[in-house]
């Protein structure tokens, strides 16, 4: 136990500073993937809700297949598989696209449930008043749906943030990437991984508190 504090005092600041060097990439990947997923997920959701089978079926296949396979496999296909067909994504590109594709499938289902939860009469009323379907979606349906969707969307953001730990395997220089290098360098696996854990908790616990608060606010509103 004494040694624990000794090592912490000697190497702690160095370990912490190095790990925090990966924080930027972690945040860039999480934010990039979230933006990608928010946009792409909306496209998939509209395709899923479409009456045209040609649009609906690919969307269903996408949602089911992506949600049914591990994010790690998707990352491997993108980073190690795509070069087989002549594409060479950089680690950062592979990380953002890989996690974004994954998040989009979950967000598409959240959007769909949120839109479905708004009563059909709303859409009919808006159309009767002469709004275009797109205008009705934009001004009537989505503003109401967003209230029910916000907590699960934030949950996806938390999951994305945690999943960024996986992108160290495609050599994106984020927290866990530096952690692994630090362990080979200092041989202090305990200090390194516990500090990495602490950094993740500093981000995820406030975020999940925020989700819980949103959830309470939503219930109070109903």
| In the complex, minimum distance from the CB of residue 96 to other proteins, in angstroms, rounded to a whole number | 17
| In the complex, minimum distance from the CB of residue 124 to other proteins, in angstroms, rounded to a whole number | 24
How far CA 97 is from CA of 5, 78, 109, 187, in Å, comes to 41, 8, 19, 33
| DSSP letter, residue 56 | H
Q: Is 84 in the site for other proteins (CB under 8 A)?
A: yes
On whether the CB atoms of residues 104 and 63 are closer than 8 A, the answer is no
Between 132 and 189, whose beta carbon lies closer to other proteins? 189
| In the complex, minimum distance from the CB of residue 205 to other proteins, in angstroms, rounded to a whole number | 5
Part of the chain binding other proteins (CB under 8 A), chosen from 10-18, 38-46, 120-128, 199-207: 199-207
DSSP string, 39-71: HHHHHHHHHHH-S-HHHHHHHHHHHHHHHTS-H
**Binder of other proteins out of 42, 49, 204, 218 (CB under 8 A):** 204
Interface with other proteins in residues 154-173 (CB under 8 A):
162-166, 168-169
Q: Is 17 in the site for other proteins (CB under 8 A)?
A: no
Rounded distance, CA 44 to CA 29, Å? Answer: 21
């Amino acid at each position: 136990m004494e040694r624990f504090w000794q090592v912490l005092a000697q190497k702690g600041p160095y370990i912490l500073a190095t790990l925090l060097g990966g924080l930027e990439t972690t945040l860039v990947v999480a934010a990039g993937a979230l933006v990608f997923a928010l946009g792409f997920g909306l496209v998939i959701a509209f395709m899923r809700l479409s009456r045209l089978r040609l649009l609906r079926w690919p969307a269903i296949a996408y949602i089911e297949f992506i949600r049914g396979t591990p994010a790690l496999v998707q990352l491997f296909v993108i980073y190690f598989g795509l070069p087989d067909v002549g594409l060479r994504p950089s680690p950062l590109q592979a990380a953002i696209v890989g996690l974004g594709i994954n998040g989009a499938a979950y967000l598409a289902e959240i959007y769909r449930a949120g839109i479905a939860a708004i009563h059909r009469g709303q859409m009919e009323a808006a159309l009767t008043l002469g709004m275009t379907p797109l205008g009705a979606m934009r001004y009537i349906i989505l503003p109401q749906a967003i209230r029910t969707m916000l907590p699960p969307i934030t949950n996806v953001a938390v999951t994305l943030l945690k999943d960024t730990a996986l992108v160290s395997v495609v050599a994106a220089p984020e927290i866990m990437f530096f952690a692994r290098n630090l362990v080979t360098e200092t041989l202090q696996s305990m200090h390194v991984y516990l500090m990495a854990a602490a950094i993740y908790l500093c981000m995820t616990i406030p975020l999940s508190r925020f989700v819980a608060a949103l959830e309470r606010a939503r219930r109070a509103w109903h």
